[in-house]
Chain A
Amino acid sequence: MELLNRYLQAVKFWLPKAQQDDIIAEVSEDLRSKAEEREAILGRSLTQDEWKLLLKERGHPLLVANRFLPQHSLIGPMLLPIYWFVLKIVLACGLIPGLAVGIGMMVLVPSHHPENSLLGTLWLTAINSIFFVTLAFAILERYHKNWLELWSPDWSPEKLPPVRNTRRIPRFSSSVELCVDLILAVWMIEAYGARILLDSSGVRIALTPTGSALLAGVAALTFANACVAAVNLARPYWTSTRHGVRAGIHWLAAILCLVVFRAGQAVVDITGPGIPSDQAPGITHWVNSTMSIILLSSIAIASVYAIFETRKALKRKTANQMADALVTVL
């Protein structure tokens, strides 16, 4: 009997106060009835071991209590997919850029050790993002059970977004891309020929040999991208080849920026009557330092784009192969 009382006490501990006595009385009655039945079969009282077995059969006290507790969820099944979707976006926006620049700095600038501050910042960003997104959704779940009706009270199939053709390239975006790329490429070729980026108001920004090489490379890649945009304009459907070419352009851009960054040489030289001669070296140094940060960011951005384009190229290729196989089988 002592085992039974201990068991009931353990179950009681986890139950809500208002219902404790009532539930325990019922559980106790049930266990006693079960014990009586066994005693009637055996013709004697249950031993300590037999009580132990009976209670173990009933289950862990926490499990028994848990079945009587109301089932709560912080975020219900209706909101959960939206919660994951929002959380992924918030985490991606908060973590990826910081992570890319931080890793880039660690790899490319051996003297720089931002590990601790970087990890601290990323950790704080992640915790804050998770906390605030979870809190917002928990409040929505708790106080607006009918959030779907509030959000979209008169939904209709006609109001749903049209089916997206992921292969189709909008002609408008191709036109804009083509124009911008061509203007940039022409400007860069001119600047490369003159070796001067800017010459006005007494300020002259001249390209160093490293700067000229970088500009020539970027101009060539921009022109290549303009060619892809022109093809996209004529035939507005993505193919694995075009994704592959774009991936190649982005990989080359990342490599080019990486090579220039590793060389660690000045890209521009600033002179001119508008700048006091004693301040010119300082301004040149500041501009070149800023260029280094831009190069680093460009490496990160171009790499991310390159990875996405490579994935798309491979995916499209696999889809095409499967379609061909299906046609052959049919």
Chain B
Amino acid sequence: MANQTKVELFENLRQEMRRGSLIVAVLAQLREEHYGYALRKTLADHGLEIDENTLYPLLRRLESQGLLESQWREEDKRNKRFYLLSSAGHEILSQLLEEFLQLTTALNRITEGSAVLEPTK
């Protein structure tokens, strides 16, 4: 397999793998109110970089699905849109976290002692 193809393949798989995790992370972080830019910074501080072109459409989608609530408010003399997890969002988040935990546990068990997890020599 050509190197370029390998890089592209890895990137596609990485994006696919991250997609679901990002939703959980965003929902979890929005248990406290944040506006878009601050949310992105907080997630980055926790080690989860997220592209603006992914985050803002995702926030809108989650809001349209009733998982988030938002309101425009002035802060530091500028209008900002603040997002907060809705009550439906809280319910879904706890279910998702439970599912995520089961998935992580299963993955840990599956990959335990596996050569794929050993550092490349």
Residues of A at the B interface (CB closer than 8 Å) are 23, 25-27, 29-30, 32-34, 58-59, 63-64, 67-68
Contacts and interface: CB of A to CB of B under 8 A. Distances in A.
Contact of B79 (A25, A27, A58, A67): A25
B108 to A, nearest CB: 32
B53 A26 contact: no
Contacts of A68: 56-57, 60
Nearest to B56: A26
A26 B57 contact: no
A172 to B, nearest CB: 50
Contact of A27 (B54, B56, B72): B56
24 contacts: A23-B60, A25-B79, A26-B81, A27-B56, A29-B36, A29-B37, A29-B78, A29-B79, A29-B80, A29-B81, A30-B36, A30-B37, A30-B52, A30-B56, A32-B78, A33-B37, A34-B37, A58-B53, A59-B53, A64-B53, A67-B54, A67-B56, A67-B57, A68-B57
Nearest to A59: B53
Most buried by B among A27, A34, A67, A68: A67
Interface in B43-68: 52-54, 56-57, 60
A156 to B, nearest CB: 30
Interface in B61-92: 72, 78-81
Nearest to B37: A33
Contacts of A33: 37
Contacts of A26: 36, 56, 81
A271 B54 CA distance: 85
Contacts of A23: 56, 60
Contacts of A30: 36-37, 52, 56
Contacts of B35: 29
A30 B60 CA distance: 15
Given A29-B35, A29-B79, A68-B56, 7 more contacts: A25-B81, A26-B56, A27-B56, A29-B80, A30-B52, A33-B37, A34-B37
B79 to A, nearest CB: 7
A29 B52 CA distance: 12
Contacts of B37: 29-30, 33-34
A39 B24 CA distance: 32
B120 to A, nearest CB: 31
Contacts of B53: 58-59, 63-64, 67
Contacts of A25: 72, 79, 81
